[in-house]
Amino acid sequence: MQPMLNIAVKAARAAGQVIVRHVGRLEGLTVQNKQPNDFVSEVDHLAEREIIRVIQRAYPDHAILAEESGGQGRSDYEWIIDPLDGTTNFLHDFPQFAVSIALRHQGRLEQAVVYDPVKEELFSASRGGGATLNNRRVRVTTLKDLNGALLGTGIPFREDQDLDAYLKTLRALLPGTAGVRRAGSAALDLAYVAAGRLDGFWEYGLNPWDMAAGLLLVQEAGGLVGTPDGGHDVMARGDVVAAGPKVFKAMLQRLAQAR
């Protein structure tokens, strides 16, 4: 395992231990609203501090972009951290949330870890080295089109998001598929595309920490990622489509019809 990936795994597992200790003990947690229906708990902060502690012990000069504490330092190496992707699920004891850690070097994603501490599933990838789930290689599915495909998505819930525009994309993509799932953690949704559990995924308005690790996982599992209009600036835009090559093409074609 690459040394930097090894540190990401160590940090993700340490954060996972923090999270699991609080599962089922939610009554006494301090919870705040970052904006309406967008929550942050003290577990998010505790897990993030644990991740940063592990990373800085190994690489004190690296920069960090973390969901709760923001940007720290300047370096060609930047760690992109979501300590608890799926906080709303966590606060409702809905067991679909994960730790997401990615490393970007000179603007290019190089290492990725998405860790589900409840199911003890560790998705990881190094650029050029493929993607794994608990050390077993994974690949995206090989469907030729959207017929029978199972898709994942994120439904807009913030006031600044355009629900009507999203519903047009849902109407365009749904026909002929096996259905659409909205599980509440983009990091895990992307990891599931990489592992072949979902055939494709699309969502609008994501932050870098929501998707950085998942994007590399999909690419290293043989999939494609891009913006819904066929662009490549996913991290800057925050709008993403991810799938195996042929399903990806089919999704873009249908999304073009929805615009």
CA 172 to chain centre: 24
Which tokens in the block code for residue 138? 């994974």
Q: Which of 110, 94, 91 is nearest to 102 (CA)?
A: 110
Which tokens in the block code for residue 97? 């949330």
82 is known to lie in a ligand binding site: yes
84 is known to lie in a ligand binding site: yes
76 is known to lie in a ligand binding site: no
DSSP state of 96: -
| Separation between Cα atoms, residue 113 and residue 91, nearest integer Å | 23
68 is known to lie in a ligand binding site: no
Cβ atoms 115, 37 nearer than 8 A = no
67 is known to lie in a ligand binding site: yes
Q: Residue 194 CB: number of other CB atoms within 10 A?
A: 32
The annotated binding site is made up of 67, 82, 84-85, 210
The annotated binding site for Mg(2+) is made up of 67, 82, 84-85, 210
